[in-house]
Structure 1
Amino acid sequence: MSTAPAASGAAVVPPLFRGLFDDAAVFPPGNLPVAEAVPAHLAHRAAPYAAAVGPLLCGAGRLGELAAAADAVTGSAGGTASDGTEAGGTGSRLRVGLVLPGGSSELGPALTAAAPFAVAGVELATRDAREAVAALDLLLPPDVPAAVELPRELLRGDGLEEVLDVLVDSPYRAKFRTGGVVAGAFPDEAELAGFLTGCAQRGLPYKCTAGLHHAVRHTDPATGFEHHGFLNVLLAAAETDPKAAAEILAERSGAVLAEAVRSLTDRQVTVIRNSFTAFGTCSIAEPLDDLAALGLLSPDLTSQEDR
């Protein structure tokens, strides 16, 4: 996979990383105030690395706050913003991903409340995959993608197979939680490998969330938590053998992972990104800086003046 600048000299975001980083700035542990998250997200979307950035993620209960913050930034007089998009007030420039931890009962009201925005996706947490699929089929506009998340305790043993079988027969992605604010929120290599390979065996796309804002597996020095690296997950995404996937997830050498990324063919990149579509990160800067440090992203794309 080429990570070099384009022939014209302009640096580009390689296909492996395009749209990979959903902006979860308002969620823990970042907890950026919504009033600050909106202008920060719009700055990301206007930066040279914008192709790597997905939608701004927002919980159902904060959509009113989000609309007010968007109005404060974009104004209501219309016109054209610095990134070339129309400034139409009430968040018309914002691509928003709706995060619904309260289940299907939140879906209808959230879609109504999100009318001022361009809804880029829905992430629905549930304890019943079939019920969630039925609600999405009933209420979700056909052009809006969705991901369904079940608690990890329900995805152990036969539970994982049952949930993935339900989702593979639907138009929706799976969602898996890869971290959080307590040690128990982080799955080990075997558990994550089981999810990744179960999806790969079925051709089921998925997104991940939490704990992946660094490229390489590591132990957080402040908390002692074991974090998966998003490069590890990308490289494991094409594996159908759980043991092979777990070995990739356990790799702690950035040099080894970077060389593996460089050796990917265009077809392998397509397979990987058709599987692992995105992950939520409360920091956009950290994953970009990691990629630049590993030589996988041009430093021209990550200069501090663009953030």
Structure 2
Amino acid sequence: MTGQAPTGGVPDLFRGLFDDAAVFPPGDLPLALAVPAHRTHRASWYADAVGPFLCGAARLDELPYLAGGPLRVGLVLPGGSTSLSAALKAVAAFEPEGPESAGVELAGVELGGVGTAVADVRAAVAALDAQLPPDVPAAVELPRGPGLEDALDILAGTPYRAKFRTGGLSPEAFPDEAELAAFLTGCAERAVPYKCTAGLHHAVRHTDPATGFEHHGFLNVLLAALAAHRDGREGAVLALRERSGGILAGAASALTASQSWLIRSSFTAFGTCSIAEPLEDLAGLGLLTPPAPPPHLEDR
């Protein structure tokens, strides 16, 4: 079973799942704090669960002044492909000045500001085809609403992922189960991989007691990704609706290696402003086991 891992290990189901979006709302952590925190995550026992550090192009100039060695950065471009060329040139200009200077290793590009009209998505794909360096992954954020199916048709057969927003700072920013299931199923039908962003930093579906917003759980979405392939839209809706952590954890623990592979080849990552909270949830559900602390000298 792949839901579990040896003590201190990260199961395949969660490897690289958590992109570090600490500098984005609602976290809004200053870069001077967010970058050292990311380096700590990358040096910790759970490092295999942590994806790249997400950063907007407007803040790239601040990175070279933060020491600690090269930084794997996922470049987020809210302005879409119109800002792609300048952002790629800015990244290429960051040559490390020494072993402790930051430098920037481009781990991926995420284009926002793309409409669901066929022409908008075609333009984004064309810009990525023409400008993106080889072997750099990219995602195209697709707005919710009419036109999503046509947008997915354009992404199908390209090397690029779809990006879908699953939350935000208002209740309208959260798609309901039917809408999210339609997206997951549309991607499954076209073999389009995807990442999600916002609102997923807890494992299990819940109502936020402070805001009253309905949050999807990332464990729900992982299992819904499999259901979208196996059972279609109705199965995905059922997985998204589940509120029992025990039921979800049991289902995750029972996944086969091939099922876990299918899930993660579809649902590749999500951006979270907290790395600690998803890990704490997984540990609480028995799906992740931190290593035992070293014995104290007096206990030896």
TM over 0.5: yes
Structure 2: any 5+ residue segments left out of the alignment?
Answer: 95-103, 295-300
Q: Partner residue of 1:141?
A: 133
Matched ranges for 1:159-174 at <5 A = 159-174=147-162
Contact 1:48–1:301 (Cα < 8 Å) also in 2: no
Tell me the distance in 2 between the aligned counterparts of 1:23 and 1:302.
25
DSSP-derived class of the 2:291 partner: helix
Tell me the distance in 1 between the aligned counterparts of 2:59 and 2:82.
16
What is the identity, as a one-letter code, of the residue corresponding to 1:124? L
What is the identity, as a one-letter code, of the residue corresponding to 2:224? A
Tell me the distance in 1 between the aligned counterparts of 2:260 and 2:157.
24
1:67 Cα deviation after fit? 2.5
TM-aligned CA distance change 1:182 to 1:98, over 3 Å:
same
Tell me the distance in 2 between the aligned counterparts of 1:38 and 1:56.
8
DSSP-derived class of the 2:79 partner: coil
Paired positions, count = 276
1:301 Cα deviation after fit? 8.2
Contact 1:4–1:11 (Cα < 8 Å) also in 2: no
TM-aligned CA distance change 1:100 to 1:302, over 3 Å:
farther
Contact 2:9–2:290 (Cα < 8 Å) also in 1: no
DSSP-derived class of the 1:237 partner: helix
Q: Partner residue of 1:183?
A: 171
Q: Partner residue of 1:122?
A: 109
Deviation sequence 1:175-201 (CA, Å, 0-9, x none): 000001111100000000000011011
Contact 2:3–2:252 (Cα < 8 Å) also in 1: no
1:122 Cα deviation after fit? 0.4
Deviation sequence 1:58-107 (CA, Å, 0-9, x none): 01111112232x2xx32xxxxxxxxxxxx3xxxxx210000000111110
DSSP-derived class of the 1:114 partner: helix
TM-aligned CA distance change 1:109 to 1:245, over 3 Å:
same
Tell me the distance in 1 between the aligned counterparts of 2:44 and 2:131.
34
Tell me the distance in 1 between the aligned counterparts of 2:245 and 2:88.
41
Matched ranges for 1:250-289 at <5 A = 250-289=241-280
What is the identity, as a one-letter code, of the residue corresponding to 1:292? A
1:302 Cα deviation after fit? 11
Deviation sequence 1:186-240 (CA, Å, 0-9, x none): 0000000000011011111000000000000000000110000000000010224
Tell me the distance in 1 between the aligned counterparts of 2:179 and 2:79.
25
Deviation sequence 1:239-276 (CA, Å, 0-9, x none): 24111101110100000000000110000000000000
Moved over 4 A (4+): none
1:173 Cα deviation after fit? 0.5
Tell me the distance in 2 between the aligned counterparts of 1:174 and 1:43.
29
> Of 216, 222, 227, which residue of structure 2 is paired with 1:234?
222
Q: Partner residue of 1:247?
A: 238
Tell me the distance in 2 between the aligned counterparts of 1:27 and 1:60.
13
Tell me the distance in 1 between the aligned counterparts of 2:88 and 2:159.
18
Identity %: 67
Tell me the distance in 2 between the aligned counterparts of 1:4 and 1:263.
9
Moved more, 174-183 or 108-117: 108-117
DSSP-derived class of the 1:57 partner: strand
TM-score with structure 1 length normalisation? 0.87
Contact 1:16–1:273 (Cα < 8 Å) also in 2: yes
TM-aligned CA distance change 1:184 to 1:40, over 3 Å:
same
Deviation sequence 1:144-174 (CA, Å, 0-9, x none): 0000012213xx3xx1221111001211010
Contact 1:288–1:302 (Cα < 8 Å) also in 2: no
Q: Partner residue of 1:107?
A: 84
Tell me the distance in 1 between the aligned counterparts of 2:50 and 2:5.
19
TM-aligned CA distance change 1:283 to 1:32, over 3 Å:
same
Q: Partner residue of 2:43?
A: 46
Contact 1:49–1:302 (Cα < 8 Å) also in 2: no
Tell me the distance in 1 between the aligned counterparts of 2:225 and 2:292.
26
> Of 31, 34, 39, which residue of structure 2 is paired with 1:34?
31
DSSP-derived class of the 2:76 partner: strand
Tell me the distance in 2 between the aligned counterparts of 1:286 and 1:244.
27
Alignment of 1:204 with 2:205, yes or no, is no
Q: Partner residue of 1:150?
A: 142
- What's the C-alpha RMSD, in Å, of the aligned pairs? 1.5
Contact 2:2–2:260 (Cα < 8 Å) also in 1: no
Contact 1:22–1:280 (Cα < 8 Å) also in 2: yes
